[in-house]
Amino acid sequence: MTTSHPAPLASRLRGLAAPGLAALAALAILLSLGTWQLSRLAWKQGLIAQVEARATATPLPLAGRAGWPRMTAERDEYRRVIVTGTFRHDREAYLYHVAGDSRRQDAGRPRGQGYFVLTPLTTADGATVIVNRGFVPTERRDPATRRAGQVEGMVTVTGLIRFPEPRGTFAATDDDFRRIFYTRDLAKMARVMGAGDTAPFSIDADATPMPGGWPQGGETLLSFPNRHLEYALTWYGLALTLIGVFAAFARQRLRGRP
């Protein structure tokens, strides 16, 4: 009968070198991911504060056409502006939207499927800006069902500047014939509307009541998902788990257990 003896301590320590290096590399990755999420958290909190400040500030007159090339999403998205002009209702288009936000309990606001009504607004100097006048339910998409809201003559619009959105992978195909869109692609909208040269941004109208009640403005969503702290804690938790697992593994090896 033979008895096996544990390997010398030096040999056992050498046996931990490769697993230890692998665990150290994995630990560095997990910690860096957690730290990156914390930096993203600080960025997102700053972005949210910036958007809230812009959206609640006193509205300023929209810059003229000469100033549009200098405007960017980083500097001007959600900025509150005021513009005066005449709507071209015959060229309005529709952006599909599902209204309603569980975080905003307001019984007076619309809910369900429908469209944002986007209408070219011609200013006094001949410039054109696409205005998102607000939401209408599916059964109100036809302008004939909301004639009172097709305001004629000079109007003043207060709202938030919005820039185009990238087309999502699963976005539905736009219906150019009926001017129904599923992405805020302003260049394409202007082309299909026949609106000519328009601003590289649109304006989301505020909740100022419209004759007849439709469209309903003020539907711009100003809350943004912010789960970066949750993600950071997940990565740091995995790092702690890795440390615990490797410590148990190393203890068994040093005791001479397979």
Task: Count Cα neighbours of 244 within 13 Å in the Cβ-side half-sphere.
Answer: 6
**Is the dihedral angle over the CA atoms 124, 206, 51, 132 positive or is it negative?**
negative
Q: Which residues of 170-198 are buried (b: 16+ CB within 10 A; e: fewer)?
A: eeeebeeeebbbbbbbbebbbebbebeeb
Task: Let me know: does 84 contact 154? Beta carbons within 8 Å.
Answer: yes
| C-alpha span between 149 and 216 (Å, rounded) | 10
pTM of the predicted protein model:
0.75
| C-alpha span between 144 and 131 (Å, rounded) | 19
pLDDT value at 158 more than 80: yes
Beta carbons within 10 angstroms of residue 241's beta carbon: 11
Q: At what angle do helices 228-254 and 17-56 cross, to 10 degrees?
A: 170
Instruction: Name the pLDDT band for 252 (thresholds 50, 70, 90).
Output: confident
What would the mean pLDDT of 19-29 be, rounded to a whole number?
Answer: 91
Token readout for 106 is 């307001």
Q: Which residues of 32-67 are buried (b: 16+ CB within 10 A; e: fewer)?
A: ebbeebbebbeebeeeeeebeebbeeeeeebeeeee
Length of the chain: 258
Return the pLDDT at 257: 58
pLDDT value at 9 more than 80: no
Instruction: Name the pLDDT band for 253 (thresholds 50, 70, 90).
Output: confident
Q: What is the pLDDT of residues 181-196, one digit of tens each?
A: 999 999 999 999 998 8
